[in-house]
Amino acid sequence: MKTVSKIKFSAGAAAAALVLMLQPCGSSGSTPPAGSQNNPGNHSAVAITQAMIDAAVAKLDGIAKDAMRRSGVPGMAIAVVHNGKTVFSKGYGVRSLASPEPVDTHTVFQLASVSKSVGATVVAGVVGDGKVAWNDPVRKYRPDFALGDPYVTENVTIADLYSHRSGLPDHAGDLLEDIGYGRDAVLSRLHYYPLEPFRTNERYTNFGLTAAAEAVAAAVGTSWETLSKTRLYERIGMDDTSSTFADFMARRNKALGHVKQNGVWVPTPQQRNPDAQSPAGGVSSSVSDMAKWMSLLLSAGTFEGKPVVNSQALFTAMTLHSFPKTAVPDGVQTGLPDNRPGMYGLGIGVGVDAAGRVRYSHSGGFLLGASTVYVLLPSEHLGIVVLTNGSMYGIPEAVAASFMDQVETGSVSFDWLTAFGQKFAPHHTNPSRLADKTPPENPAPALPFAEYAGTYASDLYGPAEVAVEANGSLTLALGPVPKRFTLTHWDGNTFAYTPVRENALGISAVDFNVSGGSVTAVTIENLNEYHQGTFVKQ
């Protein structure tokens, strides 16, 4: 519990500094808010002038065009806000390579995980209304919610789940969504996951955060999607914004996803439907609307002079709550600990930049074709949002980082596009032991296919059905509405199949366990991240 008390203390201290940093300032943009001039907590040795900000905005169009040229991403939109005004807003490229209409400032993009920060603003609004508290237990509003430990189940709070410190493993529930389970079904299965120590490390979980958002909506007596619309979008005129996939698809002016095949951008074969985790990844919006949202945050919860979100509830979301764990295998130091620490608030990333200034940010990405980012520099009341309709290769992050370089130093200090591309490369690497391999020339024989056929059970994933088809092929069916995959023999009792949807990265192994000449279970490699991918034959 010492860790928790330290987190609360740090958050409180940071909130006090934020009160100074986020107050509206004068039109010059370089004048700090009253009372902050002598604050050692936000002093930077690198001065920023209004002329530097103006010059950076003037160079942003060139930065964007260079990123478009180098990356080939089909479409992009950018907005910059300063002192509550949109000072840059422009679209680039096309909404879809299949129907090349131009991107404009009202083109709607899927935000992916930037949705977490937007949703945190919704929750802060409800907290400010006095209907919930960040530290309310989720079970207070969702008595059916459960995790794998009774103590954690009773005590995990909205803030715990918005800061990813519940103990749930990284991305718990995402693979359930991939095989077709909806929001309620995924949330009802979270208790099957093993937990790390409570409130110790940040482990990024879309469905943990979704559970917290669902609790907030339940407290108000409405759906999350309706709450987001009425508590935030309608209040500041975010007319292009929605938290439902149906609304996104109904928009005429929308940017559809793209992926790379053999190094070439192509329209995604299936647009990502994130409704199951809407609070974590299901918002769609335009840069015109996101500029309004950034102005709201940079103005301490006010918009065009009117209070929308209670400032203290918002400050709580924008202060430190958790740290990601740095993995050092076997205790061996593999490099110097010279990275600035990554920190997390409540659905909002918290960091310190190279000039010693606090920044707030969040990236979002779908492998099926979206990549987004926003970055806020509250000391200058400055923010940028970059939305693209291509898979995650660090393109929007590179544009935002280049712009902030221009703001703080007057030049771009680093090849951000190459650096972020390398950082995002692992997201596109298939971890299967069969990846980039060819089947053995002389494989060990399989059993007669009929021996593998049958129903296999998993508490977490539900049933899997293996069948011999009329044409003699072996198939695997997964999910609540079973999707059938062809199993291709690899070697002995090992077969291969190709998963689909968001986390599919190519070929994966399917291993049948044989004991005493009989098939007893099957282990599906891509579902086995937490050693829970074994289904027992019934």
pLDDT number for residue 11: 34
pLDDT number for residue 15: 38
Paired tokens of 60:
């942003």
Q: What is the pLDDT of residues 301-359, one digit of tens each?
A: 999 999 999 999 999 999 989 877 544 344 444 445 677 777 899 999 999 998 889 99
How do 494-497 and 370-377 pair as beta strands? unpaired
Task: Return the residue matching tokens 């996939």.
Answer: 245
How do 464-468 and 302-303 pair as beta strands? unpaired
Question: Phi first, then psi: what are they for 175, rounded to 5°?
Answer: -70, -30
Domain boundaries, the chain: 2-33+41-324+341-428, 449-537
Paired tokens of 34:
């009253």
CATH H-level, domain 2-33+41-324+341-428: superfamily? DD-peptidase/beta-lactamase superfamily (3.40.710.10)
> What's the chain's length in residues?
538
pLDDT number for residue 43: 78
pLDDT number for residue 34: 41
pLDDT number for residue 37: 58
- Whether residue 25 is predicted with pLDDT greater than 50 in this model: the reply is no
pTM score, whole prediction:
0.91
Mean pLDDT across 60-81: 98
Total Cβ atoms within 10 A of residue 40: 6
In a 10 Å sphere around its CB, with 0-12 CB exposed, 13-18 middle and 19+ buried, how is residue 326 labelled?
exposed
Q: Which residues pair with 75 in a beta bridge?
A: 93
Mean pLDDT across 17-29: 40
Paired tokens of 53:
């900000």
Q: What is the pLDDT of residues 119-138, one digit of tens each?
A: 999 999 999 999 999 999 99
Q: Look at the domain 449-537 and name its fold.
A: Lipocalin (2.40.128)
Write the DSSP assignment of 466-523 as a string of letters. Answer: EEE-TTS-EEEEETTTTEEEEEEEEETTEEEE---STT--S-EEEEEEEETTEEEEEE
- Whether residue 67 is predicted with pLDDT greater than 70 in this model: the reply is yes
Lowest mean pLDDT among 23-32, 99-108, 233-242, 252-261: 23-32
Between 269 and 267, where is the model more confident?
267
Paired tokens of 149:
């430990």
Mean pLDDT across 67-95: 98
Indicate if 449-537 has the same CATH topology as 2-33+41-324+341-428. no
3-class secondary structure, 218? helix
Average pLDDT across the chain, whole number: 91
